[in-house]
Chains A and B, each alone.
Chain A
Amino acid sequence: MEPGEHLFRRESGRMVATLTRIFGVHNLALAEDVVQDAFCRALEVWKFRGMPENPSAWLMVTAKNRALDVLRRERTARTFAPELGRLLESEWTLAPAVEEIFAPNAIQDDQLRMMFSCCHPRLLEEAQVALVLHILCGFSVSEVAAAFVSSHAAMQKRISRAKKVLAGSQKLFDIADSADFAARLPAVLRALYLLFNEGYHGASAESAVRADLCREAMRLAALLREHPLTATPATFALSALMSLHAARLPARLDASGELRSLFDQDRSRWDAHLVEEGQKLLDLSAHGPELTEYHLEASIAWVHATAPSAEDTDWGMIVSFYDKLTAIRTSPVVALNRAIAIAQRDGPQHGLEEIQAIANSERLAGYPFYHAALGEFQFRSGRPDAAREHFRAALALARNAMERRFLEHRLVACQPALSSSVARE
């Protein structure tokens, strides 16, 4: 194993999902304990004997054996998964039943069940995302807290409340047998979208955290694509969107670690393989009449990903996608991005007018890039004084050192040539 590789993160989601299937969702905490224990035991042995060829398989076997121990020891004291109740009562049926649940394709379904269960309608979106990250992606509470720039205590509270709701649901969400499957799928997609976005645009400054979140969102989206029920056009569109955005990740920071906007990224550093994959996924999303926000966002990302430069981008096409997106989901951030595209197409003055026309723009007041966009347009319209005001406002809202430095550079760029006396002040 490579040092630094997160074996537990990679494996625990599958193990918890499968054990919860056996123990029942009300015993979620027990499943988590057993997984931790199995993991720690395996590592203790590997410490002496070396890593096996296939650590994932070993971990699963360890988890299975621990599960059997628990079932034998506690079957009179606890109730386990109701749908397995009978099978667990006799030793004759216990082992084969557990064996079946640990079959590879069953394990995959368990992860889907868990993903859908985490997106419980009684939970707020941010709680759903935190739960997905904690249970399915094996992030510890402090890692989830770091990802969302929240305190450990606050995240601990949020996650344990969410777990209570999850444990209180009668059983795991069965995607093949639930009337509200169609209603729950959008919530799952949304959670993965938010998870990806947190990695891509989020407030956490640490680039490793960001990349991890994007990767996890992509991994879970791939699971959805592999099951016939969840491989919908919207799932493909969301996956396309993630690939096309992720393709640009390597260029978001330049060689000196500074944040680069889309307009001045080194496009040769974009990941051609991911662009290609995104394009394929976008093709696959085009089956059927469904046109979701993910289709439109993916299409916008595709135009960017295939444009040779910011100037040679088909901004007209991008504006038209934003128009359609606005019709599906009106949000101030979408409106802001649309205004930026219009400024590119028609000039900064038009961009300014669009921004001023945004309804609920007060909801953007706390968003640094709203002020930065205003600053940019004022600057390009030849009003550096007004531009500086906006960049200062943006700077005051910057969420991390990288954003701060980026905005400071913009602020300096629209400074009039300083006379030496002013500079010394």
Chain B
Amino acid sequence: MSEFVYLYRGGETNRSPERMQQTMQKWMAWFKELGEKGHIKEPGHPLERGGKLVKGKQKTITDGPFAEAKDVIGGYTLVEARDLDQAVELSKGCPIFDVEGAVEVRPVMKM
């Protein structure tokens, strides 16, 4: 088994309580399914949309967000899968696709 990071990009910004609740239930169902099949190494966390960017030799500090809304990373999860193909296949169940978001699947580099 190899490890992969899912980076959740973009998705919903309009947050009404009813929709949020539906969304949460979908995500929980998806996580449950992955977990039961033994693919979740660490469920990860959601991330605040804003923050700081420290950059360059001058260590210039700027306020986030650092990307356009559709590309902002909203959270991450550490998963285990046979190979990249399987990790990609598993990501297809993510509810973020219902709201025009994306999942970036990145293999964790190992020696």
Contact = CB atoms under 8 A, between A and B. Distances in A.
Contacts of A3: 25
A1 B24 CA distance: 10
Contacts of B24: 43-44, 46-47
B17 A39 contact: yes
A53 to B, nearest CB: 15
Nearest to B29: A3
B17 A49 contact: no
Interface string A135-146: 000101000000
Nearest to B25: A3
Interface string A33-50: 000100110011111111
A146 B28 CA distance: 29
Nearest to A2: B25
B27 interface: yes
Contact of A47 (B15, B16, B27): B27
A8 interface: yes
A51 B77 CA distance: 17
B53 to A, nearest CB: 22
Contact of B77 (A7, A39, A48): A48
B28 A47 contact: yes
A20 interface: no
A230 interface: no
Contacts of A36: 15-17
A12 interface: yes
Nearest to A143: B18
Given A36-B15, A40-B15, A140-B16, A49 B43 contact: yes
A48 B21 contact: no
Contacts of B50: none
Bin chain B's interface residue count: 10 to 19
Bin chain A's interface residue count: 20 to 34
Give the dominant DSSP class at A's interface: helix
A44 B21 CA distance: 9
B74 to A, nearest CB: 8
B56 to A, nearest CB: 31
Contacts of B43: 48-50
Nearest to A12: B17
B91 to A, nearest CB: 15
Contact of A8 (B17, B23, B28, B45): B17
A43 B16 contact: no
A7 B21 contact: yes
Nearest to A47: B27
B38 interface: no
Interface string B83-97: 000000000000000
A12 B18 CA distance: 12
A48 B45 contact: yes
B25 A1 contact: yes
Contact of A40 (B20, B31, B44): B20
Contacts of B21: 6-8, 43
Contact of A50 (B15, B17, B28, B46): B28
A226 to B, nearest CB: 26
B65 interface: no
B46 to A, nearest CB: 5
B67 to A, nearest CB: 19
Contacts of B31: 47-48, 50
A39 B19 CA distance: 11
Nearest to A5: B21
A48 B18 contact: no
B75 A48 contact: yes
B18 A51 contact: no
A47 B25 CA distance: 7
Given A39-B17, A138-B17, 15 more contacts: A1-B25, A3-B25, A6-B21, A7-B21, A8-B17, A36-B17, A43-B21, A44-B24, A45-B45, A46-B24, A46-B28, A47-B46, A49-B45, A50-B31, A140-B18
Interface of A: 1, 3, 6-8, 12, 36, 39-40, 43-51, 138, 140
Interface of B: 15-18, 20-21, 23-25, 27-28, 31, 43-46, 75, 77
29 contacts: A1-B25, A6-B21, A8-B21, A12-B17, A36-B16, A39-B17, A39-B20, A40-B17, A43-B21, A43-B23, A43-B24, A44-B20, A46-B24, A46-B28, A47-B23, A47-B28, A47-B31, A47-B46, A48-B27, A48-B31, A48-B44, A48-B46, A48-B77, A49-B43, A49-B45, A50-B31, A50-B43, A51-B28, A140-B16
